[in-house]
Homo-oligomer: A and B are copies of this chain.
């Protein structure tokens, strides 16, 4: 028994009667079955070179011995790492409150785990740190692909990742991401639909509590509101940028509702901010939907558990995760074959927080 790499992933913690250190290798299987290691490799990878009878015996032995390929050994040979990476760059306080990423990840997993691809997750503070992670992962060959979320206007990540040569998908961007394909939803159409609906109800003073202006989707929504206002002849619309945090969402709401001509409807860019806004309205004694209608641009349990339940633009985030993961695996396998994918447009789910404007 070789002394082996002390310490690390050794079984049996304490020194003493640990069972044979043996990591199980294909050599063990080969010995067991009575063939050479290469025969085992052929059999396990379903490639020609062994008879069906032998293949069956080998597979059976591997199964019985509960063997799993050593991922590092495979990767070393030039095989893919069997993992994709996701980096979330978000300020601490906001993170976690938004079910979006959790749902997205869950959706991705249903695809990834079926293909035995692992997900590497990293949460960092800013784009700088995010880029460092990408560089490290690429250098270490840890991931086969990357998912880039929250594309910004003039996003430095696009060029950087492209330069690293790691296949990647951008979530939520549209147009000009260098060569990176994107999976995007039509925010513009969603916003237009929302504003049309509010306008149809009779609202004219519509406010938009937007997210971080640096994000492309925020920009698209702001522009869409402005366009809709133009089309519908609404003079009194406004978009107020925030950092997506509940506190800013609340603060902005407080400010809006304190104006002389307070808006009669507010569209929030996230469910968390919408809930915070609802809390403020309640606190200020502004009845919802009596005097204020609230729409959330993101849907989740949050919008449903509060009372009144909030009208929201809902989409199947889980399904989005599936789409994203599929696109990612695809681009990993055959770079260049993936075109931009348009995900389902969020649809307005009307609940109790919207109604005709009060008097």
Say whether A214 faces chain B, with CB atoms less than 8 Å apart: no
Known: A70-B76, A102-B96. Is A81-B305 also a contact (CB below 8 A)?
A: no
Q: Which of A42-81 contact B (CB under 8 A)?
A: 66-81
Which 4 pairs of residues, A with B, have the shortest CB-CB distance? A5-B165, A68-B139, A11-B165, A5-B78
Name the residue in A136, A275, A301, A304 with the highest tally of chain B Cβ atoms < 10 Å from its Cβ.
A301
For A142, the closest partner residue in chain B by CB is B71
A8–B81 Cα distance when bound, in Å, is: 9
Contact between chains at A166 and B9 (CB < 8 Å): yes
Contact between chains at A335 and B109 (CB < 8 Å): no
A92–B136 Cα distance when bound, in Å, is: 32
For A110, the closest partner residue in chain B by CB is B123
Contact between chains at A106 and B123 (CB < 8 Å): yes
Contact between chains at A121 and B121 (CB < 8 Å): yes
Contact between chains at A165 and B333 (CB < 8 Å): no
Contact between chains at A275 and B306 (CB < 8 Å): yes
Contact between chains at B305 and A275 (CB < 8 Å): yes
Q: Closest approach, in angstroms, between the C-beta of A137 and any C-beta of chain B?
A: 8
Q: Closest approach, in angstroms, between the C-beta of A174 and any C-beta of chain B?
A: 20
Across-interface contacts of A92 in B (CB, < 8 A): 106, 318
**Which of B66, B79, B283 is the one whose CB lies under 8 Å from A11?**
B79
Say whether A116 faces chain B, with CB atoms less than 8 Å apart: yes
**Which of B13, B79, B118 is the one whose CB lies under 8 Å from A179?**
B13
Across-interface contacts of A218 in B (CB, < 8 A): none
A141–B103 Cα distance when bound, in Å, is: 28
